Structure 1
Amino acid sequence: MSKKILVWFRNDLRLHDNEMLVEAIAKSDSILPVYILDPRQFVETKYGTLKTGSIRAQFTLESVLGLRHSLKQIGGNLLIVTGSPEDIVPQLVQEYEITEVYHHREVAREETHVSALVENALWKLRINLKHFIGHTLYNKEDLPFPIKDIPDAFNQFKKKIERDSIIKPCFAAPDRINVAEVIDWGTLPELADLNLLQQAQDKRSDLEFLGGEAEGLAHLQKVILLMQQAATSKNLILASKLSAWLAMGCLSPRKVYWEIKKMEGVPNTKAMFNHILLGLLWRDYFRFMFKKYGNTFFSPNGFGSQGLVDVENEQENFSKWKNAQTGFAVVDAVMTELNTTGFISNVARQTAALYLINNLEVSWVFGAAYFEEKLIDYNPASNWGNWANVAGVGNDQKSKSVFDLDKNIKNLDPKGNYALTWSS
């Protein structure tokens, strides 16, 4: 009997640096590439927010279609199905006589729960679910410490891994693929099918995010070009805005690192290189912290106590914050930009979070849930980990006092131009 491997794509929508795909091709006679659109990712949460808003949903759909196009270019295709993975994967295993299933391991509770349900269903069919790790710059097995001993302080984590670990080279993208015979490869739902409305491009935004591996790679090259152009301006730091493609796995963090590293010899690009590398390390840190501590990051009190919450006015204040109606110009500008574009800078995120938590006395979990809906670059570990840190309930309790609203506002909008630009 021929060996068929089902490759279950999730947040890894690329051909380059994809060990799961490379191994599946090498170890099978044919593969069945599958993307499952899970309706549970578009429901309302207990906080009155959506799991996925229209901007990220559109980016996701574009990224899935981008993956299908890439697979077609090398002789394959992508089976697109809507439903629950724990129901669909076993059905496909039986229908196509699959011998093994591959997927990338996740770290947050909902994603790992789905993996467990799929694994249990496959176990009953005596089919193995093989886990791969492809979301981080550093591989877990290459860390200088086991997960349970990872330092809670980011600076210690950064220092030790940069000193004692290596960043592996990327896996080459396959140039040919042999897929199973499928009569109907399926169609991807549109936003309207998900009860979402198309968000018009805001003219104030300097970048239109388009999903997909090709778009991600093209944007990476634009960042490199900007670095070259900025070489004449010593220590100029530009926002790379690579995070949306990293979140969907359209870009590999290792690909970003090795491409940016080619600029190492160019004068005056070190600050930009370090800025991008720092962002990649923070992504790794939070994923490993989620691996270490699990669901604690989703608890309002986290690793400490969340402090004052104005329960009586919480919903009203949360609504004002969401709708950019707090009356505080910079915060309202941040929320307007978030609502219309799906992207805001890191300092803007901290500013909005500090105001919600300390000035409006709303529980930070409402803010984290709203960012989950709105951010085009949402990933559970970075979003909930950062919010917990700002709220003072993160795993590194020594960092509780590092956030300052006034300082953030000076960094975000020193001359008032930002608030003026994004006034609703």
Structure 2
Amino acid sequence: MTNPTMTATKPSPLGFSIISGRLAANSHREWPVVRRQTALVQSLISTPLRTTSTFESVVTARLLSQPIEPSTQSPAQDCLGGGTKTEGLAIVWLRNELRLHDHPAMVHACKNYSHVLPVLVLNTDQHKVVNGAMEALSIAEQDLFCRSIEELERDLVARGGHLLILKTENADDVAGTLGHLFVQLGGLIRGFIYHKGFSSVERQEEARVITAISSAIAKRNQQQTSEDEMTITPMWANTLYEWDLLSFNDANGLPDNCDDFSDLVSRVGPPKEPLPTPEEIPCPTKRFLLDLGVEGCKASQILSKMVDNASHGWLSPGERGAAVALRNYIEGKSLGSKFTSSSLSPPNGLFNALLSWGCISPKTIFHSVAQALPTMSIRRHCAELDLLLRDFQCFSQFRTSLSI
């Protein structure tokens, strides 16, 4: 499946712009370059960076050896498009994507529907603070998660939208909560868009959600003379590559080790560049939703923020926090290089939480590092290896889920 794309008439302002021009201090380095004003550079970094015409690092010499063909259009132009929008509401189900930059589902919704409503279902049981040895870590995670949601809310408001947060007591109620939303909004909903999960738990949740909303639509159609059309669109996100583009004949086509996986992706070419942030997200008003009985809540009403600024200063929330972490990594200020560790604390898990919650995409990290760091940089080498390993782990989980 090829991700739909959007265009933008100008670079969209985003928190990533806090990455400063200090990277220009490396401008004395010389290697073959092609200067490109990409949407990624315009959105993420306040000064243009240089990028090689091929990915030539120790890792990418083998993995991503195909050259990047110069595009006659910017990624923003490739991504936006004309066409007639469907009159109606598209629900964008946010699962692990607390960002607007490089968000395929949001881009698709804004391109194809007249109104868009991002919905986040919070499982209060999942985010309870645990007792015992891991209590401090759990509190820090919850605090960071809550503040990342609040930042996403602010970014949506700045673009004319808002975030509908619904509360549920356990994972099994997520489907029922979304199904009830379809009942409340009646025939207004024309699209349901979400990013596919990888694990068996995530895919089972998807199946329950699809069953619940399909049931709600069927009941609604029985009560009226004409049937409402509604399109369900699953999409790939949160990995460098897409399962559908890796030429797997079936689930058994996935290599059993990371070395063979790297050989496979080397035949595909470099990862796609990240999608730009939609400049405008046309949401129905809160008053309109309240009149239909749809009332959300604030993240802070569900998640407790219990960590003071001094204790979480090493990692800031949301897209802006991810931008700071990425800038520090590129400039060599971070304590470690791991993107895939299960640990939240530095040095082993610098980006783990931000990637897990989707505050930044792997494509954004990959292309920013490849554009900013020289061929033989150890940090570039480690980032590429870690991100490739993360893809392999995600697809291995997905393969396992297909057999269940």
CA deviation after TM superposition for structure 1 residue 17, in Å: 0.8
1:118 aligns with 2:209: yes
Where does structure 1 differ by over 6 angstroms across 4 or more consecutive aligned residues?
Answer: none
- 2:306 matched residue in structure 1: 198
- 1:69 matched residue in structure 2: 154
1:5 alignment partner, SS class: strand
- 2:33 matched residue in structure 1: none
1:282 aligns with 2:371: no
- 1:373 matched residue in structure 2: none
- 1:109 matched residue in structure 2: 200
From 354, 370, 378, give the equivalent of 1:261. Answer: 370
Deviations 1:153-180, CA, capped at 9 Å, x for gaps: 1111123213444311111111111101
1:32–1:179 Cα contact (<8 Å) kept: yes
TM score, norm. by length of structure 2: 0.62
From 160, 171, 196, give the equivalent of 2:275. Answer: 171
- 1:132 matched residue in structure 2: 235
CA deviation after TM superposition for structure 1 residue 109, in Å: 2.6
From 87, 92, 100, give the equivalent of 2:176. Answer: 87
1:30 aligns with 2:115: yes
Listed as ranges, the matches of 1:327-366 within 5 Å are none
Alpha-carbon distance in 1 for matches of 2:328, 2:349: 9
CA deviation after TM superposition for structure 1 residue 135, in Å: 1.2
Listed as ranges, the matches of 1:35-50 within 5 Å are 35-42=120-127
1:155 aligns with 2:239: no
2:378 alignment partner, SS class: helix
Cα gap change, 1:202 to 1:108, in 2 (>3 Å): farther
1:103–1:132 Cα contact (<8 Å) kept: yes
Deviations 1:357-383, CA, capped at 9 Å, x for gaps: xxxxxxxxxxxxxxxxxxxxxxxxxxx
Deviations 1:211-269, CA, capped at 9 Å, x for gaps: 211211232122222289xxxxxxxxx978222211111101001111111124x375x
1:201–1:208 Cα contact (<8 Å) kept: no
- 2:224 matched residue in structure 1: none
Give ranges in structure 2 of 5+ residues lacking alignment: 1-85, 219-229, 335-346
Which structure has the higher relative contact order (CA within 8 Å, separation 6+)? 2
- Aligned-pair identity in percent equals 22
- Matching residue's letter, 1:2: E
1:142–1:165 Cα contact (<8 Å) kept: no
1:3 alignment partner, SS class: strand
2:96–2:358 Cα contact (<8 Å) kept: yes
Give ranges in structure 1 of 5+ residues lacking alignment: 229-237, 298-424
The alignment yields a C-alpha RMSD, in angstroms, of 3.2
1:36 alignment partner, SS class: strand
1:107–1:294 Cα contact (<8 Å) kept: yes
- 1:272 matched residue in structure 2: 379
Alpha-carbon distance in 1 for matches of 2:305, 2:107: 37
Alpha-carbon distance in 2 for matches of 1:250, 1:199: 20
Cα gap change, 1:98 to 1:200, in 2 (>3 Å): same
Deviations 1:169-207, CA, capped at 9 Å, x for gaps: 11111111110122266333448x56x78356787x9x6
Give the number of aligned pairs.
280
Cα gap change, 1:49 to 1:259, in 2 (>3 Å): closer
- Matching residue's letter, 1:188: K
Listed as ranges, the matches of 1:305-384 within 5 Å are none
- Matching residue's letter, 1:212: G
Alpha-carbon distance in 1 for matches of 2:199, 2:367: 27
CA deviation after TM superposition for structure 1 residue 92, in Å: 2.0
- 2:324 matched residue in structure 1: 218
- 1:292 matched residue in structure 2: 399
- Matching residue's letter, 2:381: N
CA deviation after TM superposition for structure 1 residue 90, in Å: 2.1
1:63–1:250 Cα contact (<8 Å) kept: yes
- 1:57 matched residue in structure 2: 142
Listed as ranges, the matches of 1:378-417 within 5 Å are none
- Matching residue's letter, 1:92: L
2:146–2:305 Cα contact (<8 Å) kept: no
- Matching residue's letter, 2:115: S
1:99 alignment partner, SS class: strand
- Matching residue's letter, 2:181: L
Deviations 1:102-128, CA, capped at 9 Å, x for gaps: 111112232222211110011121544
TM score, norm. by length of structure 1: 0.59
